[in-house]
A = this chain, B = another copy of it.
Amino acid sequence: MGRTPPHPQVSQFDLQQVLEALVDPVRRSVVAQLVAVGEDIRCGDFDMPVSKSTATHHFRVLREAGLIRQYYVGTSRMNALRRAEMDEAFPGLLDALTPRAGRPTGAPPA
């Protein structure tokens, strides 16, 4: 468990921090992909037009804001959307930014 990075609790979620995470289109696309797929995604399996180190940075910002939970399966770092906790802290926000049907709003063109 030593490799599991720290995650904030719902009570620590901060709207400012969440918005700063979601204002970046690449990070918003990561969340949109988790919403669209509906299951956890390995870091390397996201469609991200950035370098691996930049991707790692984006994942950290999302994790620290409480948007995703990261855990290991073997050597793979997995990412889970913290949907229920986000909906509890900021009702409607994820729905507004990442509609569940159709092309995710604001996602970069494929």
Contacts and interface: CB of A to CB of B under 8 A. Distances in A.
Interface of A: 15-16, 19-20, 22-23, 25, 28, 90-93, 95-97, 105-106
A106 B23 contact: no
Q: Is the interface of A mostly helix, strand, loop or mixed?
A: helix
B16 A106 contact: yes
Contacts of A25: 16
Nearest to A89: B105
A102 to B, nearest CB: 13
Given A19-B19, A25-B16, A96 B90 contact: yes
A105 B15 contact: yes
Nearest to A108: B16
Given A22-B19, A23-B20, A105 B90 contact: yes
